[in-house]
Structure 1
Amino acid sequence: MPRINHNIPAMVAANTLMRTERQLSKSIERLSTGQKINFAYDDAAGYSVSEQMRMETKNLQMGSQNIENGRSLLDIVDGGLKEIQDIVNRLRELAVNSANGTLTPDDREYIQKETDQLLEEIDRISNSTEFNGNALINGDAPWGEGRGGKLHIGSGFDSNTDIFYIRLHDMQVHEDGLDIADIDLSNPDTAQEAIGRLDQASSTITGELANVGAFGNRLNHAARNQASMTQNIIAADSIIRDTDMAEETAKRSQLTVLHNAGVSVLAQANSFPQDILQLLQF
């Protein structure tokens, strides 16, 4: 029944139009940002879960960066060890040569001079092989003492899953390292003894190269696992937070039609009081 004081149809149409406008505004916001959760009040539970996933993703990405740094460190160690191995192989050649009775004392003197220079070079390589200012294969802390250097590869603080240690052998020529500092190739007897010590030094280097290779292989697997975890978490976060563009576009089209219809209906509802005036004409 038409009334003058309260235009109920217009009020209903206005409220419906306001609700549609809010929904349309939210739909446009989701389409423009690409996210269906832009504020915590959009979905408090979803927002909380999404933020935790994003924090986990950043931590995993940092762990992946740490892994890459660890791989770079091991590459440097590998290069230093191989160079020392080549020098030890050369020293063994010289020892075998010096042990031969056909050489003269002068020949052995020249061999000893080369030997002394090569031993000094081993120490130089051991002390100069470093990463970010930290010496790696000269027995210094942290990589050459205790449990060794620490690599934090995970996203948490669990010592069993997020952290592991690498200890690298001292590759200097002194007794605590390769123990070849005092080898004497100036006579056949001491040269013969040096061959055995150089073989032991070569075995030590080979073993350390194997350890470095094992650590590197472990880091490769860790890197792939981190990448897989990061990808899956990002995918899960996307489901929670990102806009389904096809669905939202269809919804916006529907809301646009409803909005236009609401404007038209409100205009008609506002005209109802004018119709009542026709009843008052007499």
Structure 2
Amino acid sequence: MSLVINHNLMAMNASRNLQESYGNLGVSTRRLSSGLRVGTAADDAAGLAIRELMRADIKSLNQGIRNANDAISMIQTADGALGVIDEKLIRMKELATQAATGTYNSDQRLIIDSEYQAMASEITRIANATDFNGIHLLNGNVSGDHSGAGVRSTGKVKVHFGTGNDSAEDYYYIAIGTSTASALGVGLAAGNSISTQALAQESLDKLQNAIISKDKIRANLGALQNRLENTITNLSIQAENVQASESRISDVDVATEMTEFTRNQILTQSAVAMLSQANGMPRMAMQLIGG
């Protein structure tokens, strides 16, 4: 290499190496401070695209878990109300059994029937009043076909918990039968009374059927709750594994990156020292000129 004044090639080379080492040191600093191996698209273009898709899935899965938990709360609300209805039906059967015996006169049966009808009215009130977040559960509103076309969805409750829109994987419906007194076949709304001994005896069969109908609704709700709990377990495992995959792509390995940081730090310090030396090289020419 010639000793020249106009161009300091050694300083240029040292400067280029310094810029590279200092740039790498900056990348290591950014990664260690953020905890991310992929902070920009330039770090890993393909990895960034995959990571963002995974992040979207993770967020959707976690929201799906919350959706399923909300559905469980809704089911428990309906089941709790049906438990109260159950007590009313049991009391009505007790009253029908009482009125069916011949030791009571007509006036006494009318008194018994008044309580019987009050229980039926309370069943209807509970069925019409039970709601979850504004969704009425026991009056038949969630037993029909689902439609989400309007501002307010109607029919079956669609519980969405997956990352897509495939019914086999991402959602299913919760339908709850009607539990009013008329739907169960008891009370005046269903033409049912225990004001006479014969009517009281007939009511026993109707009450038995009503209790069975109510139990079927509760059993279906219990099965759905168990299914949702299993769904939550599966979603949690799925979200955990996708998060682990996203972490392997996105997160920095601190031990490896710290090694790179130290290496780049040494190279930067060395390049600074050599650039300082190279900047003094042209002065050697002055010794020849002066000599």
Q: TM-score range by the shorter chain?
A: over 0.9
Distance 1:179 1:192 in 2: 15
Aligned to 1:278: 287
Aligned to 1:225: 234
SS in 2 for 1:169: coil
Summarize deviations over 1:48-94 as a string: whole Å, max 9, x none: 00111111112212222221221111011101111111110111111
Question: TM-score, length-normalised on structure 2?
Answer: 0.91
Distance 2:284 2:232 in 1: 76
Aligned to 2:20: 19
Aligned to 1:172: 180
Distance 1:200 1:139 in 2: 18
Q: CA RMSD in A?
A: 1.4
Q: Please report how far the alpha carbon of residue 19 of structure 1 lies from its aligned counterpart in structure 2 after TM superposition.
A: 0.3
Please say if residues 157 and 174 of structure 2, whose CA atoms lie closer than 8 Å, have aligned partners that are also in contact: yes
Aligned to 2:150: none
For structure 2, which runs of at least 5 residues remain unmatched after alignment?
147-155
Distance 2:211 2:92 in 1: 10
Identity %: 35
Distance 1:24 1:160 in 2: 50
Q: Please report how far the alpha carbon of residue 281 of structure 1 lies from its aligned counterpart in structure 2 after TM superposition.
A: 3.5
Aligned to 2:255: 246
Q: Please report how far the alpha carbon of residue 105 of structure 1 lies from its aligned counterpart in structure 2 after TM superposition.
A: 2.9
Aligned to 2:124: 123
Aligned to 2:69: 68
Aligned length: 278
Amino acid at match of 1:158: D
Aligned to 1:209: 218
Distance 1:51 1:166 in 2: 32
Aligned to 1:266: 275
Q: Does 1:160 align with 2:171?
A: no
Please say if residues 47 and 249 of structure 2, whose CA atoms lie closer than 8 Å, have aligned partners that are also in contact: yes
Distance 1:54 1:184 in 2: 61
Aligned to 1:85: 86
SS in 2 for 1:150: strand
Q: Does 1:186 align with 2:195?
A: yes
Distance 1:272 1:119 in 2: 105
Q: Please report how far the alpha carbon of residue 276 of structure 1 lies from its aligned counterpart in structure 2 after TM superposition.
A: 2.6
Summarize deviations over 1:23-60 as a string: whole Å, max 9, x none: 01111111111112111122110110011111111221
Distance 2:44 2:262 in 1: 23
Distance 2:44 2:165 in 1: 30
Distance 1:242 1:149 in 2: 39
Q: Please report how far the alpha carbon of residue 14 of structure 1 lies from its aligned counterpart in structure 2 after TM superposition.
A: 0.9
Amino acid at match of 2:46: A
SS in 2 for 1:15: helix
Aligned to 1:196: 205
Question: TM-score, length-normalised on structure 1?
Answer: 0.94
SS in 2 for 1:38: coil
Summarize deviations over 1:96-128 as a string: whole Å, max 9, x none: 111122223333222111111100000000001
Stretch of structure 1 that moved more, 99-108 or 111-120? 99-108
Distance 2:245 2:170 in 1: 22
SS in 1 for 2:252: coil
